[in-house]
Structure 1
């Protein structure tokens, strides 16, 4: 995650930033779904109500039509059936009525009864219909028919018994007559009408045919109405979607805005209300961008794009508070580049800025997404590694050391090596931010004091207090060892891969412990560096080397001593030159007997001063060897101009060269470069016969390592370099290699 993204996230919600979360839009139903749901329910309800009303109205229409039809047929049947009550010949009359009724399928049956409703005077039954029984009316039916006839309805409507779907209609047949009156009564207008029931009509209507046609029309109308409502639903949904589309389009930009992003476009279009919302949001985003830019300028390193010290401090304070509540711990890594100043001074600030930008990119890609990286100084960075233990922090620091060491900074067609010193401290709820940063910076200084290109872990308060308690004892012990000459120099032979000429030894410093056991330099040189005693140790070694050589010459032997110098020896070049000159003179030792070894990092870190000192010592006859060459990938331009006679190939490449093709290529390349520059090569860490023979085949000049001899307090017998073992090792080489080394062609003698 970039600093810009992290900064916005942290400012929007510090707790979410600390947990690596980002705010999301709260879940819930969308407005569009809600409106479409309401529309669907409304249209469905309206459709159901409309169809229910249509069917209810249709039923009423059918019933009204049936009543009107019944009244019409009653009048018709009353008129046609009157002769049955007046003529004794009823059969012809009934046949004529039946012939007329057969043309009307809606008439199911017709019966004519006498005045009491007991005797059937005539009957018509539609074909295929069984005869209705009983064939006479009950007194209740005749009474009900008479009562209805006197009211608004002229007939009685009933079901047709077992004939489902048939409507039965019963009505009295009445005749009206004027009584005989006199002339006087007529003149007076006195007139009364006589009404008499002479029989009853019982007929059945079959509305099935008409009802089926009506039902068909009703269904067709219902389907058409439902289609209209469905079309209205789809059109309504389309119109709502179209109207709300600009509002829906705001959902994704608003979600991004809620996550802290400000590079959001709100789109365009929409009705007046939505356009007003969009304009307001766009204005708000513009203000947020301005605020974000101001915060970024205040909390971002303009050169690398990383967080600056201010932002780092605020984030560390937030993390410290959260760790105090929840427990756990983070690691603070203080990273200081080794060799940055020499590149910046030699190539200019522009190159230095480009180097810092590239290193920032490497570090950013090498830490986890939820970790934080800040630049806190010129070439100083701090990484906050969340939720790691001691082993996890060491793993991160080690990988950063490796990736920076493998990095090549190319400028002006030259390649420069770079390294980093890393200090590790723990951030928990008990330490203040200042304490955590100070501890990490102090640990970084410890790593740098031990030569750089390494990490150092801040010790717990108890262990650190115990170590500091014993530091004065170490200081007194080192000072006493220098004063009393109780330090020891052990020697390790450096043998030629070509012949047995000359004795060469590297002198290695040791400190005798309380139990008499010799301690390696790694046990006491860091403390000597802290106490400022490295320069004294350098001078002591030079004095002892000259004295040893003088003693050796007294026995008639000549040898070359390789002596290591620290970087502090070049800080006071005049003192170094004076000590060397004085001891060479006092011990009557030729300057060529001393070869001073300096590490690649020391040489390029003090390049100008180192060149001057090396030239001054060269006038005394002393020579120089560049130690651990290849470990720092320094510019070959420095190698070309530094007055060194020997190049010591780093043991990291030599010890696995016989098994690792890449290491073998590296060793071969260094040998070829040295040969092109007219310098001799010494391979360190030769651990087996195969490596020895490989180096001989490659063309290296000298070899040094445990396979040849271990460091010892006493110099070996002078015959060691002419021993049969070394002679056999030198002779076991391909003929082509021996011929090329001797300047002869294979096969010629």
Structure 2
């Protein structure tokens, strides 16, 4: 047995003490043989496992490795690993913690392998929870080669965070860099600039020379712009021809100007793409952090985008700095627009009516429909408090259409109670310029067949008529054929001329109240009134004066030949249900009828 012959047995020839000793010897030999066979079996299994296996002492000395571990260590060369320690074999010093963890708790650590091969190898070491030998504390560690997995993971991370064309950070990585920069400049009490960059003329390059040249140009421009930045700054591509630069650690706002100029110069540089030389420029929108109000990264990007748009509309190839005050004003404007839109949807607008009379005869010749807002919280609001907000917005057209339809409905209602009065409504320039204005008007008239179209008068501002004389003339002619009449409002405030009075088929001229109000004291206003009244008479137009506030105003107008008047001296605007009673009681001033 001393030579390893575990199959040796002692012949038992007697049942005495020698025989019993022989039996005990044979049992020991048999048990020892079985133990050695089991251990050899386990060792063969460990040797053939696909994962690397190491047996390590509690001090970190490596006493046993399997074939897979030796292949990881030596690459394709299957050689035994020289005696060594965990510290010598693995770059991560935390591997020693694997020997300290409880056997019931599995633990894994990634580490570089300090292999004699040239390639960099990354492995995952895990505690197996198995004691190889309880006598000397030897543990079994499992090792997996994860080099390929880590390389694939790095590729996926790169694709997720970098633009495939320019190799610049993409939108996702930009968000992370922006957040880091916000924290950094706040801690350092410095400033940061966010620059939104849009390449001018890039679409033309794509359309004329193809997307391949466009892509090459983007790569060249991106590279040139990146070279103008400092280490620590970021240039990212959002997509298409849009980029964002983050300029960190600025002492003040002015410190960004040289960098912005360099970005503009880089973008505007002529580039040789293949056999062609192409040149573009860039529009830059800039905003800064910190600001007076708390602001996050997304808001900074939106501000820079808005400023970039301003750079576009003001000429391109320049930078514009975001103006917080202007932005606040725009936000208030948009909120007001939305509130007015809600008011229209909820029926909060009403029409008041101001009478128009023949001061000489006392006849009520019509009324002007004037919009009011019955605000749920603020009460009745005058048009000057909300109409300027929608003047250049499409909402002005919707409100104007509502006014026309409501006025026609009111004409119908008054007719049922025996009151037959023409109604004039104001039409804004934007509404008048709509291509379907005539069609919409025709549809309104058809929806109210009981209304005589001549009872609807559309008042247009003199300044609106002058914006596009030919178009306005065509609209007036078409509407006149429908039977609708036109008046020229605020006459005398624009560039009154004989030529457009002759071309526009308006039936009434309304003298602006600013001339009427001061005519008793201002000789110039009086002279203008005489001229306007004379002009109207010469062209066969009716004339009405706004702003008749006193009997003296009416008397002088009558002397000048203007019989029609409208103003507070006659009646203030009133709700529709008050008008029939007012008409019944109305009498012209004795001084006017004498």
In the superposition, the TM-score normalised over structure 2's length comes to 0.44
Which has the bigger relative contact order, CA under 8 A and spacing at least 6?
1
Determine which structure has the larger strand proportion and give its number.
Answer: 2
In the superposition, the TM-score normalised over structure 1's length comes to 0.36
Structure ID, larger Rg: 1
Determine which structure has the larger helix proportion and give its number.
Answer: 1
